[in-house]
């Protein structure tokens, strides 16, 4: 749903005459909070990245970022039957063959993953691998703080169909369209990713990747998605066609059903990243489902499809 964003862009456009300058701001010394970025999918191990927030203007370099990782934390994931402790692994200790999977799961490009090196908590014990319909609780003890959260892997709702259509005025570019038949239960939420074969190194969330059935509970309807981008794209992009797919692209679509608290996190996250700098919005607080910290612990009910973009 792109509606909010469009309204905001246009309100900003109303501000016809304006100018801006760089300013220095003294922000008070802040408390550093724990930040969880964790996910679990069917058939895959849980992954948890644990970092600490930093002062807004504290220096950004490789060292400080590496220092943001919290090491030696005690991390447990339970599915109600098994309570398994995760172990800390840094990506430079892993064979290259596993890296694309990890890049997908933590949502950074493969290049960034290789050059930067992430540390995360996981377990290769199949007893704690994700299963559809189960609820997973996370508990973390780091330094003297406790963080907890729970998430479910909902039964995935499949997409009815996908197709590609040229955008009017273009002959080779257009959106990816879909038809969804939303189940009658209120509050079903979704997240959608795409990967263009041979172009993208991982699944990239669509621009506006999450939506729930607030407007269309129980309905069958058509809509389209805007193609997403790597968080830090290298090279110039052409804004005109930035959100389109191209005829001939082979698109792998990862369509996930997620629970409401998980949805609320990504929805507020996407609004916050979009709203940065918008004077008409209140400070966009990102809703977390982590008790005692920031971030998200989210389960995904996943379906995959492949579409060759031909109009």
Partner 1 sequence: MFSKLENLNSVRNILFVLFISLIVFQASAQKKFTVSGYVKEKNNGENSVGATVYIKELLKGTTTNNYGFYSITIEEGEYTLVVSYIGFKNIEQKIILNKNIRLNYDIEEDVITTEEFKIIGEREDKNTNEAVMSTIDLDVEKVKALPAIFGEIDILKTIQLLPGVQSAGEGNAGFYVRGGGPDQNLILLDGATIYNASHLAGFFSVFNSDAIKDVKLIKGGMPAEYGGRLSSVLDITMKDGNFKKYEAEGGLGVISSRLTIQGPIKKDTASFIMSYRRFYAGDVAQPFIDDSSKFKGTNYYFYDFNAKLNWIISEKDRVYLSVYLGKDVFKFNNKDDGFGMDISWGNTIASLRWNHLFNDKLFLNTSVIYTKYQFEVGLEQDQFEFRLFSGITDWNAKLDFNYLPSILHNVKFGVNYIFHEFVPSNATAKSGEIDFNTGDIIKNYAHDVAIYLSDDWDINEKLKIHAGLRYSLFQHVGPFKRYNNTDFGSPIDTIVYDKGEPVKLYQGLEPRITARYSLRNNSSVKASFTQNYQYIHLASFASVSLPTDVWVPSSDKVTPQFATQYATGYFKNFKDNMFETSVEVYYKIMKNQIEYKDGALPEDNAGNNVDNSFTFGKGWSYGTELFIKKRYGKINGWIGYTLSWTNKQFGELNNGNIFPAKYDRRHDVSIVFLYDISKRLVLGTIWVYATGSALTLPESRYTIQGQIVSDYGNRNSFRMDAYHRMDLSLTLKGKKEKKFKSDWIFSIYNVYNRKNPYFIYFATEGNIYDGTLEIQAKQVSLFGIIPSVSWNFKF
Contacts of partner 1 in 215-254 (CB under 8 A):
215-224, 230-232, 234
Contacts with partner 1 by CB under 8 A: the residue count is 92
Q: 104-130 b/e with 16+ CB inside 10 Å = b?
A: bbbbbbbebbeeeebbbbbbeeeebbb
DSSP one-letter code for 43: T
Residue 205 touches partner 1, criterion: CB under 8 A: yes
Residue 160 touches partner 1, criterion: CB under 8 A: no
Find the binding residues for partner 1 in span 76-115 (CB under 8 A). Answer: 106-109, 112, 115
Give me the least distance between CB of 6 and partner 1, in Å please.
6
Find the binding residues for partner 1 in span 124-153 (CB under 8 A). Answer: none
Task: Extract the tokens encoding 109.
Answer: 């490009």
Residues 6+ apart with CB under 8 A from 263: 189, 190, 191, 210, 212
Residue 171 touches partner 1, criterion: CB under 8 A: no
Q: How far is CA 169 from CA 166, 239, 242, in A?
A: 8, 15, 15
Residue 260 touches partner 1, criterion: CB under 8 A: yes
Residue 180 touches partner 1, criterion: CB under 8 A: no
Residue 19 touches partner 1, criterion: CB under 8 A: yes
Give me the least distance between CB of 185 and partner 1, in Å please.
9
**By C-beta, is 125 or 216 nearer to partner 1?**
216
Cβ–Cβ < 8 Å for 208, 263? no
Q: Beta strand pairing status for 34-40 and 294-299?
A: parallel
Q: Which residue from 102, 206, 256, 271 is in contact with partner 1, where contact means CB under 8 A?
A: 271
């Amino acid at each position: 749903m792109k509606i909010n964003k469009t309204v905001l862009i246009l309100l900003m456009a109303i501000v016809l005459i304006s100018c801006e300058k760089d300013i220095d701001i003294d922000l008070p010394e802040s408390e550093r909070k724990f930040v969880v970025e964790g996910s679990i999918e069917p058939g895959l191990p849980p992954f948890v990245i644990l970092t600490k927030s930093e002062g807004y203007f504290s220096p950004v370099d490789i060292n400080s970022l590496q220092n943001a990782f919290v090491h030696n934390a005690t991390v447990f994931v339970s599915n109600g039957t098994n309570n398994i402790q995760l172990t800390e692994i840094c990506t430079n200790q892993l064979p290259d063959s596993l890296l694309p999977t990890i890049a997908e799961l933590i949502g950074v490009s493969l290049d960034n993953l290789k050059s930067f090196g992430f540390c995360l908590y996981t377990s290769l014990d199949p007893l704690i691998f994700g299963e559809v319909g189960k609820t997973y609780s996370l508990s973390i003890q780091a330094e003297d703080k406790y963080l907890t959260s729970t998430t479910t892997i909902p039964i995935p709702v499949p997409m009815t169909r996908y197709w590609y259509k040229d955008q009017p005025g273009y002959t080779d570019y257009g959106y990816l369209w879909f038809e969804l038949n939303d189940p009658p239960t209120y509050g079903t939420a979704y997240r959608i990713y795409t990967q263009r074969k041979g172009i993208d190194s991982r699944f990239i969330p669509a621009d506006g990747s999450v939506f729930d059935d607030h407007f269309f509970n129980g309905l069958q309807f058509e809509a389209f998605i805007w193609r997403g981008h790597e968080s830090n794209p290298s090279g110039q992009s052409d804004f005109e066609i930035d959100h389109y797919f191209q005829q001939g692209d082979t698109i792998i679509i990862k369509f996930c059903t997620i629970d409401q608290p998980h949805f609320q996190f990504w929805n507020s996250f996407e609004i916050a990243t979009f709203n940065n700098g918008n004077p008409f919005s209140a400070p966009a607080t990102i809703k977390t489902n982590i008790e005692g910290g920031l971030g998200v612990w989210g389960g995904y009910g996943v379906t995959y499809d492949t579409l060759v973009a031909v109009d």
